[in-house]
Amino acid sequence: MTHFAFREEDLTLEVDYVVVGSGAGGATAANELARGGATVALIEAGPWRDPEDYPSSTYGAMRDVFDDWGVGIARGRALWPIVQASCVGGTTVINCAICVRTPEDVMLQWERDLGVGNKAWRDAIWKHQDKLEVELCAEVVPPEAAGRSSLLAAKGAEAVRYDGHPMTRYVKGCVGSGQCLQGCKQLKKQSLNLQFVPEVMALGGTVLSCAPAERVLLEGRRAVGVSGRFREPVTRRKGGRYTVRARKGVVVAASVTRTAPLLMASGVKHPLLGKGFRAHPGTGVFGVYDHDVDMNVGATQGWASVQYRIEPGMKVETLSIPPEMVASRLAGAGKELVARMGDYRRMAMWVVAVRAEAVGRIKRGLLGEVSVDYSFARPDMERLRKGLALLARTHFAAGAVKVLPGIYGLPYEIGPDQVDLIENGPLDPRSYILISSHLFGGTTMDKDPTRGVCDEYGRVHGYEGLVVADASVIPTTLGVNPQHTIMALARSFADRLLDA
């Protein structure tokens, strides 16, 4: 088992495959390649964090495991943060491990509109998802671990008469510690730094951490390796350089905001590189009850509804956040904010995420800086507004005494007879506290090389031995959490490489 962390010395290696990125796509692809007998080097920009070293606070998580302290921003009419991790295991360390199968209607759309896949291809993806659910112990959140916030959401949805369900997650024996966003110290969440990455090493693979990739090495139009430089994660002090040669190919899974810029820096040429960026932007609404909810106790996310995934195009779910994050979302300062935080134990937060129509672009600046241009379309804001109104009604149906809409221009709190204020609220995205952790595109799939960067197996059109295996290839929004889809695609792409 070989692991190279930050080091001053230069390093040169040679393997069959180099995989850049150790999140849902990269770790899964590396694992499948190693299981198939290939020698693999897995390169990760961030550090290795053992569960006992996971931070206990949001601040600590931003410092230790979030990419750029969690302050990556998409720019457009509104600024909104992009949340990703930078550590071995990637965002699987800090997400809620939600497991949702790829919707058939989405894959049929890909086949119809983009020439991506067919029935056999779809069946293979679902078969991979069958296996992943077993390997990563996918379980439905049990009532005893759900927490009061999720139980209230289920009660409210039933009263408002729409369908919902306890989430299925890659969690084995959840104890409801509410630490998903910081990393699960209880070792219950099956994040890939605990599962697939150690297996890669046990099968003879090598892991480089604190090792941002700078270039994919090309000989003509064939990918032959990756080069970069070690970087200390806190001080960002630069260390030795590394070069990893690849006898058979390079798999890039550096994240939606990093994969396309890395290919740009490497000299990969395609007119659509960086284009087709999409997202599930969302926001939340607080309900305040006449009894303690203690949303920081129980599964961070335990209940969801996808009834409105296709029309109007949104999903709603619970999301429990710690006091410091609540304080950053509430209006007011000083004594006023302190007084409002007195409601914390009685709060439940539920969120809406929309299948946005807007399409953006990922750019790489002259000095290597990454930026995302993205402006919300009016229909996206209308969906968001509908979702918030639905959640407000759900809160009141569950017994909330007031709702905090968190919308500029509306009262700080509203009662049951004021939900129409949300329904008729502003459509300016600057009026909302927006966030997105579900990102897609930048190297999208399409059978036609003039319409997409990659084919249906992630192979970059016009290049040999170069595959993308993260959400960058996904050409549309899904309307569901994407981790299960990303891992199944990555495993399928790796199998194709092994069969070549």
Q: What is the pLDDT along the chain (500 residues), one digit of tens a residue?
A: 799 999 999 999 999 999 999 999 999 999 999 999 999 999 999 999 999 999 888 888 888 888 877 667 788 888 888 888 999 999 999 999 999 999 999 999 999 999 999 999 999 999 999 999 999 999 999 999 999 999 999 999 999 999 999 999 999 999 999 999 999 999 999 999 999 999 999 999 999 999 999 999 999 999 999 999 999 998 999 999 999 999 999 999 999 999 999 999 999 999 999 999 999 999 999 999 999 999 999 999 999 999 999 999 999 999 999 999 999 999 999 999 999 999 999 999 999 999 999 999 999 988 888 999 999 999 999 999 999 999 999 999 999 999 999 999 999 999 999 999 999 999 999 999 998 879 999 999 999 999 999 999 999 999 999 999 999 999 999 999 999 999 999 999 999 999 98
356 within 8 A of 477, measured Cβ to Cβ: yes
Strands 11-20 and 40-43 come out as parallel
The tokens for 232 are 């200390």
By CB atoms closer than 10 A (0-12, 13-18, 19+), residue 315 is buried
* Alpha-carbon gap, residue 349 to 351, rounded angstroms: 7
Nearest to 372 by CA among 460, 313, 441, 467: 441
Give residue 68's pLDDT.
77
By CB atoms closer than 10 A (0-12, 13-18, 19+), residue 146 is buried
Nearest to 22 by CA among 170, 194, 245: 194
Give residue 436's pLDDT.
82
Other residues' Cβ atoms within 10 Å of the Cβ of residue 303: 25
Strands 360-364 and 303-305 come out as unpaired
Other residues' Cβ atoms within 10 Å of the Cβ of residue 424: 11
Torsion sign, CA atoms 186, 190, 196, 197 = negative
Point out the residues that are catalytic: 438
Nearest to 45 by CA among 193, 191, 244, 214: 214
Give residue 63's pLDDT.
86
For the chain, the domains span 2-49+87-97+100-135+191-274+441-499, 140-181+281-431
Give residue 156's pLDDT.
98
Residues 6+ apart with CB under 8 A from 377: 356, 357, 358
* Alpha-carbon gap, residue 254 to 232, rounded angstroms: 18
Give residue 72's pLDDT.
75
Domain 2-49+87-97+100-135+191-274+441-499 carries which CATH code?
3.50.50.60
Q: Label residues 239-254 b or e (16+ Cβ within 10 Å = b).
A: beebebbbebbbbbbb
Give residue 293's pLDDT.
98
Amino acid 316 reads V
- pTM of the model as a whole: 0.97
Other residues' Cβ atoms within 10 Å of the Cβ of residue 292: 12
Give residue 500's pLDDT.
80
Residues 6+ apart with CB under 8 A from 145: 174, 175, 176, 298, 299, 302
